[in-house]
Every structure is written in C-alpha cells, then in structure tokens.
Structure 1
Amino acid sequence: MSGLSIAGFPHSVTGADRRGFNVAADNLRFTADGVNLDVLWNEFQGVLSEWNRSRSAFAALFTSNTIDPFFDLPAGESDIEFDLQSEFGVPTAGRPNVDVIRGGLPLVWRDKSSRFTRAYLRDASAEQVRGQHAAMLEADNRRVFREVMAALTTRSEVGNRSINENGQQIYDLWDGSTGEVPPSYAGRTFNSSHSHYLVSGANQMDSKDVEDLIATIQEHGYGVAASGERIMLLVNPFQADAIQTWRANAPNANGVVAKYDYIPSVSAPAYLTEASIVGDAAPAAFNNLPIMGSYGDAWIHKSPFVPLGYVIAVATSGAGSARNPLLIREHRTPGERGLILRRSQGGAHPLVESIYERGMGVGVRHRGAAAVMQIKATGSYENPVW
C-alpha cells in the first residue's frame, strides 16, 4: 500500500498490511515516549466531544441545527383584522391565511481514515500521533466553514438548484428567480426580480456598497433594532483597510459621501481623534468572532478567508438562533451527529486504523437575512470559490 506523507512526521503513514495474519501492531500498547495508546484514544474521544459542543464561530453565528429534511416558513404576513365591536353582535372567526414555503436540506456523509503501521507507532511520540488527530480536526473545521459560506454566497436560481432525497429544493438567498416574490414587510412589497446577490458597479468598494447591503437585509425585518439582531459584515483585510478611512459627510472611493463614521472596536490600539464617540463602540468579539469596528448598524469582521472582491452581510441573533439565515441538518440519531471517531473493523488497537466521519448539510432558511456583494464594475454576480 502506498504511503501518505504528513509534514513534520519522520515516517510514512500507511495502512497495516493484514493479509490474513495477526500483526505485531495488535499487541502494541505504547508510543515511543511511553504514552499508553488507550490513553491517547480516550483523549481523542474527549477532544471530539468538546469539539462538537463548540462549533466554529462562523458556523454557530449564522446557523441553527435541525434533524429534519425540510422546513416550512410563512410566505407572507397574516391577513387577520379585528372587527369593529358591536353591543349585540358576535365577532367573526379568524384564521391565518398565509402561504408556506417548504425548503429542503441535504445530508451528505464524508469520512477520512487515519492509519498507522506498527513501525510508526513504535517509533512515534505521543505528540506526533496527536498531530495526526489535530490535522483531522482542522480538516473538519475547514469543511464546515466552506459549506456554511458556500450556502450563503452561492446563487442557484430555479432550475439549477439541488434537490434532497425528499424531492425538496435547497434554497439560496433571494436571487431574482421568476415567480419567487419575497413576502411583504412593514407595508413594503417586493417583486420577483429582488435579489440579495449584488454587484457594486465599480472596481473599488465604497461606503454606499455597505449601506446597500445593510438596507437589503433590514427591509425584510432582519438586523433592525426591534429584532434584537446584529448585522455582521465579513470582509477581506484589503477591503477592511478601506473601511477604516470612512468618515461621515466625507467622500471616499468613487466620490461617494459616507453617511456614518467608521468606529474602531474596544480592542483597537489606542488612537488620537479630535471627535468624541457618541454611543457604544463595538465589542472586541461577538461569539468568539473578532470585531475590528463598526459602520452604521454593522459590526465588521475581517478575515483572509473571505475571498477578495466579495463583501458578506449577515443578520444574526447569536449562536444557534432560529432566526439565523442558515440551517445545518444532522442525523436523527444523537450518536450520529457531529464529528465522529470510529474504530475500524479488525482486531488491532483502534489507533492503528480509525475513521473520522461527519454527516451534515446546509441550506438557507431565512432568505432575506443575508446579502452578498461582488465588487466589480460590470457584469452579473459570480459565485465565489471556497
């Protein structure tokens, strides 16, 4: 069997070659530095338990969890109106007459095996074995991050959407598909051309781009003060540098005049200013997600993992809130949720060959609770690659 090289490991990592024979690895119980393999196995299981409780800040802030393959949401406002009361009359009966949107959620299983030969475990230290485990955790975190962000930023119009095993469409944000009209909110109505996948119209981001993203979310009732939600703006560090220069009533890129001041968060380095800050500065972090500052109603998080040329705005009520835009679907059985570490079949110690697996799927539930803008002069929105 061919070897798999792991950076920093002095030996190749391959599968144990059984061919019908008991191998010496079956009786191996200690690493080269004397750590019992049973202790390491139990340690890994404990780490996984904690790992599954504390999902990445991105996933937790923008999602909630479900075990169902679909969800139902009202497609409009209730039409019930109270009657004018009369002295002798009886009030008419009322019931909500609201259409329902049913959206689907996928469930996809992915796995990866960790294999060690007897020679490797005999000569490896406990830290080298832990390094393999850490690499698997990082791969899982990367997968969850990519799937969450792809669900937010991938436009998939009617006719191009994925279907789950129950035949239900897996929705994106409002995308301008013919025949799909967002429900009215606070007297405001929309048409089927309404989209949350925007193009800036210029090669440089300006303050109006961010103001448009905020307005696109708030006009549906998300991220407004009364909702108790907060709009998070996710930007690449290059775009974050530009935002820090914005000042109210002063021009910025493309000659646009900003409505608000950029205000650094409480974690920002000390700085001098001639103006006084009215109101509270943004916190250093929100649900463990670092905050660099605020602009208008948005708190700003910069990350090199956000593709250059894209700005993402998301309304969140906090980790796991049902008002968050995305749903993560997991298996109905509690023991089949999260990242799972299983021992492979066979008589060898589980560390010799073990399998990491996770079953999950992500779909948009609240189609108006986020918006994405691509920064470019012309053309239609193009999905980013994660």
Structure 2
Amino acid sequence: MSGIALRDITGADRGFNVGADVLTHTADGVPLATVYAEIMASLEEWNRDRGLISRLFTFDTTDPFAQLAKDPKPGEDFEEESEFGQPKAARIEADWLRMGYPLNWYDSATRFTRRFLRDVTADQLAAIHADRLEADTRLTFRKTLSALTDKTVAGSRKTNKEGYEVFDLWDGSAGETPKSWGGKTFTGTHNHYLVSGAAAVDSADLEQLILTIQEHGYGLPESNERIVLMMRKESAIPDAIRGFRRGVANNNGAVAKYDFIASDATPAYLTAESIIGSVPPGTWNGLPIFGSYGDAYLFESYWIPEGYVIALATSGAGSARNPLAFRQHANKSLHGLLLTSDDTAANYPLQNKFYTRGFGVGVRNRSAAAVMQIKASGSYDNPTWP
C-alpha cells in the first residue's frame, strides 16, 4: 500500500473520545454543569412552593386511604339518680369508612442533541425549563381542583390501585350522611354540588355556598379558618359581585346580607361611605384576593372554568382540616417534581432528561368545600378544566 495517501486519523476513529468531542459550554460560554446545577436548585425551590392552590387547600400524605368514623347513633340519655340500683351502661355503635387517595405518575421529556447544545444559549435552556415548570403548575392545579368539582356518585366512583374508593364532596348518594354538627343533623340527600337556578349570580348564591360549608363547622372565623370563593377572572360573576351592597336588591331580586369590600390591593377610589371592620388583604397566604363578601375572601383566575363558583375552607397550608389530601409515594426521595435520565453520560447532563411527578389528590373532608354552577335550570355538570 506504499504510495497511497492516507487521510488524517482522528481520536474518534481510533475509538477514543478526544477533548474536542466533550461538550462543556453553551454558545454564550456558560458551563453546562452550571446550567444543570441551577435547574436542580430551581426544582428544589419549586417543590417547596408546589403551587398556591395545591398547597393552601390540601395536606400531604403517603397513605393510600383514610379510615374515618361515621356519625354514631346517640347513646342512652342520663337517668335520674336512684338510691337503689345502678344506671344503665352507655355504649355507641361505631362504623368506619375508608376513603381512598389516588397515586399516578406523569412525565415529560426534553431531548437535546449535542449540536443543539453547542449552539444554544443559557437563557434558551432556562426558558425551556421554565416551560416545563409551568406545565407542572397546570397539572397540579387541574388535578387539585377537578378532585373537588367532579361529582361522582356512589356506583360510578373510581378506585385507587389499592382498591379503595375515591370520594368526592357530599353528592346526595343514598346512605351517605354527613356527621351532625352543633346540634344540626343532615339527610342522605345532602349535596355540595349546587345549581343556582338563574343565569346570573346573585348574593343569595354566595350566602348559600358559605352556609353549606359553615353549617358543618368549617370556615368559621372563630376557628381561625377562612372560606375562599374562586371564580373566573373578567367574567360576569366577579363583575356582579363587585356591585353587591347590604340591604340592596341585586340580580334575581336577591337582597344582599353583606357588602362587597374591595381588598387593599384595589386601585384607589373615592367614596362617601366608611368601612366598619378590616379591609381584606390584597394577598392572603400568597393568594391574590380582590375583595370579600361576608366571611369569604374572593379569588379570580383565568384558570377557573366559566360559570362556576368554587368555595373552599382552609386552616392554612398543610392543615388536616383542609378538604383535600395530596398523596405522594411512601419513598420521600420520589416526592415533588423530579429530573431523571436513562442516559448516564456525565458529560451531557441535559441531553436526555425526563421531568417526572407522582401524586394524586382525593377528597378527605367532604364538608369543607362546595361548588355552584351558575345556570337557570338542570342538574350539575362537571366542568371542563384547561
């Protein structure tokens, strides 16, 4: 083979990974290891937050179910004491209910070629990461709220993977009766999925939602609990509520028992009236508030479906009295939004990554929330979440 010109043989041709093959920086000179470290740090912070709605109205659990005592029948009354003999022995008959919590896994992938990583900037990688965080927010928000708003009567409810029935709020199913509270008893037709009976919201609708929760002992100011009414932003519902005045008729002839009070984040305005009591805060537990009506704070968001008002009572983030349980895996290393990979190549920590979250949301306190659909007639329809 003498006299034949051979091309230059590179390290890759010999089976070696030479220095030129190792990608270490983005196009704008930021080390990929630094970008990766920043992404992991932001995930840690993200998991502490977990979204305002999900955090404020849930509590954490790793259990597949909660075992709850049903309302027992009252025992014997006290007897008038007698000099002779002994009183009857009192006993109650306890019955138990197991309420299941789901647990499902969700994931999303990012896949970058080495050529893409050579040309990309650190800001572009950060934007892609931020987009995945936003998708995680949508997922947890949608699953949290749909656990409340989806009416699933007995016989049509799902079961979790351990075989326990996953419940909704009180839905009027036969044989399911809320526990009595404060001397008030309830029937098996008790329902927390309401229909307004008119095409426009009125003050009586809000008062009914508040009462539906407070008559069970939830959302009472003396218990340091708060009811939040959630509705779609820039829709007819919050626009009407802003006009409610005590003693004045509003939509459908309803006469308001309370005034709408704008929060302290409202733009300044002039009024001849004075406020008795405190002005609601513009932000409460991180949640933006636009005002109050009676004992309820008001929250509006474009994520809330049109035509619904959702009422929730909360004792604060993580309280066991909150309406929902947020279930995660028993292994704590699998909690939160994770970034994992099947690619073990240390030189390319971002090349083939999977965002993974395992969680499920189930109703724990069926009396601590209520939902009303604003429509003229018909039965309650489960909303469609974005």
Pairwise same-fold verdict (TM > 0.5): yes
Q: Does residue 148 of the first structure (1) align with residue 144 of the second (2)? A: yes
Following superposition, the deviation at residue 111 of structure 1 comes to: 0.8
Task: Give the Cα separation in 2 of the matches to 1:258 and 1:210.
Answer: 10
C-alpha distance after superposition, 1:262-281 (max 9, x if no partner): 01112112222222111111
Match of 1:205 among 201, 207, 226: 201
Match of 2:25 among 27, 30, 38: 30
Q: Does residue 236 of the first structure (1) align with residue 232 of the second (2)? A: yes
Following superposition, the deviation at residue 175 of structure 1 comes to: 0.4
Partners of 1:115 and 1:352 within 8 A in 2? yes
Paired residue secondary structure (1:130)? helix
Partners of 1:35 and 1:126 within 8 A in 2? yes
Q: Point out where structure 2 has 5 or more consecutive residues left out of the alignment.
A: 1-14
When residues 93 and 23 of structure 1 are mapped into structure 2, their CA distance, relative to the original with a 3 A threshold, is: farther
When residues 258 and 35 of structure 1 are mapped into structure 2, their CA distance, relative to the original with a 3 A threshold, is: same
Partners of 2:72 and 2:95 within 8 A in 1? no
Following superposition, the deviation at residue 36 of structure 1 comes to: 0.7
- Percent identity, please: 52
Paired residue secondary structure (2:240)? helix
C-alpha distance after superposition, 1:211-244 (max 9, x if no partner): 0000111111111233221000001122111101
Partners of 1:25 and 1:118 within 8 A in 2? no
Range with greater deviation from structure 2 (136-145 or 99-108)? 99-108
Match of 2:216 among 220, 233, 239: 220
The number of residue pairs the alignment matches comes to 367
In the TM superposition, 1:300-311 aligns within 5 A as 300-311=298-309
Match of 1:172 in 2: 168
Paired residue secondary structure (2:33)? helix
Match of 1:385 in 2: 384
Match of 1:75 in 2: 70
- RMSD, matched Cα: 2.4
Partners of 1:152 and 1:370 within 8 A in 2? yes
Paired residue secondary structure (1:231)? strand
Match of 1:333 among 324, 331, 342: 331
Task: Give the Cα separation in 1 of the matches to 2:239 and 2:18.
Answer: 58
When residues 175 and 340 of structure 1 are mapped into structure 2, their CA distance, relative to the original with a 3 A threshold, is: same
Match of 2:310 in 1: 312
Following superposition, the deviation at residue 99 of structure 1 comes to: 2.5
Task: Give the Cα separation in 2 of the matches to 1:145 and 1:24.
Answer: 46
Following superposition, the deviation at residue 97 of structure 1 comes to: 4.3
In the TM superposition, 1:33-52 aligns within 5 A as 33-52=28-47
When residues 82 and 35 of structure 1 are mapped into structure 2, their CA distance, relative to the original with a 3 A threshold, is: farther
When residues 336 and 21 of structure 1 are mapped into structure 2, their CA distance, relative to the original with a 3 A threshold, is: farther
Q: TM-score, normalised by structure 2?
A: 0.89
Paired residue secondary structure (1:50)? helix
Q: TM-score, normalised by structure 1?
A: 0.89
Task: Give the Cα separation in 2 of the matches to 1:363 and 1:257.
Answer: 36
Matching residue's letter, 1:158: A
Answer with 1 or 2: which has the greater Rg: 2
Paired residue secondary structure (1:373)? strand
Q: Point out where structure 1 has 5 or more consecutive residues left out of the alignment.
A: 1-19
Task: Give the Cα separation in 2 of the matches to 1:163 and 1:174.
Answer: 17
Q: Does residue 324 of the first structure (1) align with residue 322 of the second (2)? A: yes
